[in-house]
Amino acid sequence: MSRSMTLSPQGEPVLGWGLGIVSALPIPGAVAWPGPDAATDITVIDGGVCAPTPWPAIYRRADPWLEFAPAGVGRFRIRRDTVVVERHPHAAPGLVSELLIATAIPALLWSRGLFMLHAAGLALMRHERCIAIAGPSGAGKSTLAHWFLQHGAQLVGDDTLAVETIADTALCRGLPGGVFLGSHDARRFEPLGDDQIATARATPLAAIVVLAPGASLAMRRLARIEAFAAVMRNRHRPRVPELLGLQQTMLDAASALCRTTPVYELQFDSNSHAPQEVAALICSTFDREMGRDDPISAER
């Protein structure tokens, strides 16, 4: 596939997950490339409209490509530096872009050896460190992240974080330019203001907070084995590394992440505990256990 193919007018370089992306389709949440000499790490090519039948399996390995084919949306052909998108003739354009950033590019990032965490990343100390708030759909990630953003935090990534452990530091990157709000069948993208956007490059990860249902509001640090299990449960698109033969790479990355980064379980009842109560517990826990002179706080 030639990287010199003509791109649509949307093909200006943008920054997403810390990488330079030139895309013929919109990348919701990407931010402007900070300089005139952008290197292109990822190219997204508009392959036009595909035939609606026959329809392949949702995931399929076809070397050198991984194919992702959500029914009624399109076919995404993915490799380390390229995504080719063929749209279903009746697909909503917004849904194509949403799955491009929710699955196709995360699959590409898995292939580059990054660990993909299903979490929202929030910088609670401006431009220094962030926390990842993880948990299954409906656990309250979006509500809690939205509260933090309304009270001084900055976004590192809305739903998918690419994590890389270098030496003794875990670094995470995402799409910091906006968030998706609303229910699954009525989701809308809301761009953020400049003061709500963390640096688009790698941000040190202070901790992972895994949300869990509970009658009482409580937070505890997980032991290494529990932490490893929690991180593995919150992988983003876990089938992808298996299809790519990257199981050992994935396990090694999860182990390194748990060795360098504390993982907490936060239990609460979303019907009984207001977001500000939950956020206050997160901040006070870090103030106490990390011994900060300059407390981690959303009120910045």
Residue range 149-160, pLDDT digits in tens: 999 999 999 999
- N-terminal to C-terminal alpha carbon distance within the chain: 47
In a domain, 9, yes or no: no
pLDDT at 12 over 80: no
pLDDT(33) > 60: yes
User: What gap in Å lies between CA 276 and CA 166, rounded to an integer?
Assistant: 33
Residue 7 pLDDT class (50, 70, 90 cuts) = very low
Is the separation of the CB atoms in 281 and 217 below 8 Å? yes
Mean pLDDT (whole number) for 284-299: 58
- Residues 58 and 129 reside in one and the same domain: no
Residue 220's pLDDT band (boundaries 50, 70, 90)?
Answer: very high
Ranges 59-73, 124-138, 239-253, 268-282: which has the least confidence? 124-138
pLDDT of 292? 52
The whole-number pLDDT of residue 124 equals: 82
Give the chain's domain count. 2
Average pLDDT for residues 1-26, to the nearest whole number?
Answer: 70
83 and 138 in one domain? no
The pLDDT-based confidence of 112 (bands split at 50, 70, 90) is very high
Q: Is the dihedral of CA 197, 201, 206, 209 positive or negative?
A: positive
Q: What is the pLDDT of residue 299?
A: 44
Verify that 121 and 70 share a domain, yes or no: no
Is residue 192 located within the same domain as residue 280? yes
Max CA separation in the chain (angstroms): 62
**Mean pLDDT for the chain?**
87
- In a domain? residue 26: yes
Residue 93: its pLDDT value, please? 84
Q: What value does the mean pLDDT take over residues 165-177? A: 94
CB 161 within 8 A of CB 238: no
pLDDT tens readout for residues 182-219: 766 677 889 999 989 987 678 999 999 999 999 999 99
Domain end position, chosen among 111, 141, 159: 111
Distance CA 156, CA 176 (A): 5
> Does residue 91 sit in the same domain as residue 166?
no
Q: How far is CA 248 from the centre of its chain?
A: 21
- Strands (E) located in 63-200: 65-68, 74-79, 82-87, 115-125, 129-134, 154-157, 160-166, 169-173, 178-181, 188-191
121 and 94 belong to one structural domain: no
- pLDDT score of 162 more than 90: yes
For position 300, what pLDDT does the model report? 40
Q: Is 55 exposed, middle or buried (0-12, 13-18, 19+ CB in 10 A)?
A: middle
Helix ranges restricted to H, 37-172:
93-99, 105-111, 141-150
Residue 5 has pLDDT above 50, yes or no: no
Domain boundary among 65, 84, 111: 111
Handedness of CA 282, 285, 290, 295 (dihedral sign): positive
* 56 and 75, same domain (yes or no): yes
d(CA 95, CA 113): 27
Same domain, 235 and 124: yes
Q: Is the pLDDT of residue 2 over 70?
A: no
Q: The tokens 């992440």 sit on which residue?
A: 257
Kindly write down the DSSP assignment for every residue of 249-275, as one continuous string. Answer: HHHHHHHHHHHHS-EEEEEE-TTTS-H
List, for residues 243-257, the tens digit of each pLDDT value.
Answer: 999 999 999 999 999
Q: Which of 111, 137, 169 is the last residue of a domain?
A: 111
| 131 and 229 both lie in a single domain | yes
Sequence-distant (≥ 6) Cβ neighbours of residue 118 within 8 angstroms: 134, 159, 160, 234, 235, 236
Tell me how long the chain is.
Answer: 300
| Domain assignment of residue 189, yes or no | yes
Residue 226, helix vs strand vs coil: helix
Greater pLDDT, 137 or 114? 114
Of 10-19, 125-134, 194-203, 236-245, give the lowest mean pLDDT range: 125-134
pLDDT of residue 289: 61
Question: Binning pLDDT at 50, 70 and 90, where does residue 285 land?
Answer: confident
CA-CA-CA-CA torsion sign (55, 61, 67, 69)? positive
| Between 201 and 115, the higher pLDDT residue | 115
Q: What is the pLDDT of residue 291?
A: 60
Q: Residue 183: its pLDDT value, please?
A: 67
Range of the domain at 272: 115-289
| CATH code for the domain of 120 | 3.40.50.300
Residues 29 and 175 sit within 8 Å (Cβ to Cβ): yes
195, burial (CB in 10 Å: exposed 0-12, middle 13-18, buried 19+): exposed
Judge if pTM exceeds 0.75. Answer: yes
Please give the single-letter amino acid code of residue 28: P
Q: Which two tokens stand for residue 197?
A: 């956007």
